[in-house]
């Protein structure tokens, strides 16, 4: 099934009468997730169904997930669930809710997010959201909860939480639709995959021999998620393995004055001032427009 057909199937679901359960979850130190269910009133359940339905119906376009691709208010990114660790999260919310209820404040410590689980017959939709500070125990100790009545603020005696009107990603069958890429990558640990890719890249002779010294690049990338993502794309595209590409890079760099330094052996002599340009050209994201006769740095590129 194509991603477009999968999104269409998801959009046609009738969530109004879906059986609903709400789960909070956190990441275990040893890996995987743990989750607890929370009872909700009929009014809140109906609102959660409405939020889920609205989030799905708002997405009319879908693109393949890539390391640099982004989505907007009417689009989403698609990835197969088998390419993520979502099955670990599904396993802890696909259990009887009444046997895994929240029992106390400790269950709210170090929360990662919540899942609105919607069952329509044999079909299940999971709507996942990263939590806000209002859900975190540490934050709750430093603020008071208030509500506006008419023109006066009044104390809320019981602890309150914020349910977002947005969803970070939705899972239906084998398809995962991403509305908030940053939250998706955080919850399902895609940053770890980027970091692992960068470690592998540092061990690849075809890459390391392109540099006089790798340390400026390592220092620049650090633990920055965007830089790690870009290095993962560089690893994936592997233009650095193409001798003709690297030869053209040296020639165009000299012609255009991009200020990337090379030694006599043709290796890149990286420094902190040239790191941005080096990453762009290894990504093949510095492109020339034959219409405006200008050169641009672009966030992503697709061959025509």
How far is 258 from 274, CA to CA, in rounded Å?
Answer: 9
Instruction: Show me where the domains of the chain are located.
Output: 3-188, 192-297
Print pLDDT tens along the chain (304 aa): 899 999 999 999 999 989 999 999 998 876 789 999 999 999 999 999 999 999 999 999 999 987 778 889 999 999 988 878 898 899 999 999 999 999 887 888 889 999 999 999 999 999 999 987 766 655 556 655 655 566 666 666 666 677 889 999 999 999 999 999 999 988 987 777 788 889 999 999 999 999 999 999 999 999 887 888 889 889 988 999 999 999 999 999 999 999 899 999 999 999 988 999 999 999 998 888 888 878 877 777 766 6
For the segment 250-268, what is each residue's pLDDT rounded down to a tens digit? Answer: 999 999 999 899 999 999 9
Consecutive H or E run containing 172: strand 169-172
User: Contact at 8 Å (CB) between 10 and 170?
Assistant: yes
Q: What is the pLDDT of residues 188-202, one digit of tens each?
A: 877 777 888 899 999
**Judging by beta carbons within 10 Å of its beta carbon (0-12, 13-18, 19+), is residue 219 exposed, middle or buried?**
exposed
> Is there a contact between 246 and 210 (Cβ–Cβ < 8 Å)?
yes
Burial class of residue 124 (count of CB atoms within 10 Å of its CB; 0-12, 13-18, 19+): middle
- Cβ-based neighbours of 274, under 8 Å, separated by 6 or more: 259, 260, 261
In terms of Cα–Cα distance, which of 142, 87, 118 is closest to 14?
118
């Amino acid at each position: 099934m194509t991603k477009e057909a999968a999104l269409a199937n998801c959009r046609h679901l009738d969530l109004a009468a879906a059986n609903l359960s709400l789960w909070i979850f956190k990441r275990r130190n040893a890996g995987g997730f743990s989750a607890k269910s929370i009872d909700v009133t009929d009014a809140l359940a109906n609102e959660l169904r409405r939020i889920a339905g609205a989030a799905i119906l708002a997405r009319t376009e879908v693109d393949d997930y890539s390391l640099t691709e982004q989505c907007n208010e009417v689009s989403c990114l698609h990835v197969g669930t088998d390419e993520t660790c979502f099955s670990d999260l599904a396993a802890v919310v696909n259990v009887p809710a009444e046997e895994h209820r929240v029992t106390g404040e400790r269950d709210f410590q170090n929360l990662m997010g919540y899942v609105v689980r919607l069952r329509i017959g044999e079909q299940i939709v999971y709507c996942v959201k990263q939590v806000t500070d209002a859900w975190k125990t540490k934050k709750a100790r430093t603020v008071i909860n208030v509500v506006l009545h008419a023109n006066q603020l009044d104390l809320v005696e019981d602890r309150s939480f914020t349910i977002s009107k947005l969803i970070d990603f939705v899972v239906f069958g084998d398809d995962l639709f991403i509305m908030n890429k940053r939250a998706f990558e955080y919850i399902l640990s895609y940053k770890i995959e980027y970091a692992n890719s960068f470690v592998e890249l540092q061990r690849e002779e075809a890459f390391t021999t392109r540099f006089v010294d790798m340390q400026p690049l390592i220092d620049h990338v650090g633990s920055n998620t965007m830089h790690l993502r870009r290095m993962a794309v560089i690893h994936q595209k592997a233009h650095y393995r193409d001798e003709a590409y690297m030869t053209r890079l040296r020639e165009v760099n000299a012609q255009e004055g991009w200020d990337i330094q090379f030694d006599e052996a043709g290796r890149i002599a990286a420094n902190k001032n040239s790191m941005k340009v080096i990453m762009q050209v290894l990504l093949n994201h510095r492109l020339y427009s034959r219409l405006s006769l200008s050169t641009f740095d672009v966030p992503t590129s697709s061959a025509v």
